């Protein structure tokens, strides 16, 4: 039986190599509060005080979603939760970003599906934490201005390389051009390309 009871809602790996970067590693910039100069992250603990890995929960939720979407049987997730999430995305983005920007995100099938699935993940994650009585502990660590700048350079470089790849450019060439322009350092480039692990 699934961990998610169909009547209890009221209560593809991108990085599958062991030593490769995780999504959490790549998007560390998201977890930085530049005003307070701190890095924030959360840790989850079960009723016994044992730590629970968020990444493992997310993987289970993604599997759950895939199973429900591919099922031929009617189910509450497909019939109620996903339509609710889809309408919430449209309603929320339309009011937050305006109709033009919302259309930009939602006319692209990949981003539209990703947004709806992530809304669904957030919904299911809350229910999972409540059902399993998992507590959230926030950890705040001081981070220097230099570390923030380094993470920002890497985040900007990653965005540039990704956009370049979408446009058919070689991501490595994009990054090397950023080094030449002084936007990132050679050390940044080596870290992004995981060169240190290969040496």
Q: In angstroms, rounded to a whole number, what is the distance separating the alpha carbons of residues 158 and 152?
A: 10
Q: Which range has the worst mean pLDDT, 123-127, 141-145, 185-189, 194-198?
A: 194-198
Q: In angstroms, rounded to a whole number, what is the distance separating the alpha carbons of residues 6 and 109?
A: 28
Length of the chain: 199
Percent of the chain with pLDDT over 70: 81
Rounded average pLDDT over 50-73: 93
pLDDT at 22: 61
pTM as predicted: 0.63
pLDDT at 29: 57
pLDDT at 27: 59
pLDDT at 1: 40
């Amino acid at each position: 039986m699934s961990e998610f009871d169909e009547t209890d809602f009221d209560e593809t790996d991108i990085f599958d190599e062991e030593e490769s970067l995780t999504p959490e590693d790549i998007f560390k910039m998201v977890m930085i509060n530049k005003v307070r100069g701190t890095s924030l992250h959360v840790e989850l603990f079960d009723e016994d005080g044992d730590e629970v890995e968020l990444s493992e929960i997310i993987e289970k939720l993604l599997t759950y979603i895939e199973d429900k979407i591919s099922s031929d049987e009617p189910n509450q997730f497909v019939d109620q939760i996903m339509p609710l999430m889809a309408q919430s995305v449209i309603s929320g983005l339309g009011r937050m970003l305006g109709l033009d920007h919302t259309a930009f995100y939602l006319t692209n099938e990949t981003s539209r599906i990703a947004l709806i699935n992530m809304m669904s993940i957030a919904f299911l994650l809350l229910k999972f934490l409540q059902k399993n009585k998992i507590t959230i502990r926030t950890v705040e660590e001081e981070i220097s201005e230099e570390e923030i700048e380094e993470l920002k350079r890497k985040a900007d470089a990653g965005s540039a390389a990704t956009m370049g790849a979408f446009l058919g450019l070689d991501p490595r060439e994009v990054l090397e051009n950023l080094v030449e322009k002084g936007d990132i350092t050679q050390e940044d480039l080596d870290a992004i390309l995981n060169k240190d692990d290969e040496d």
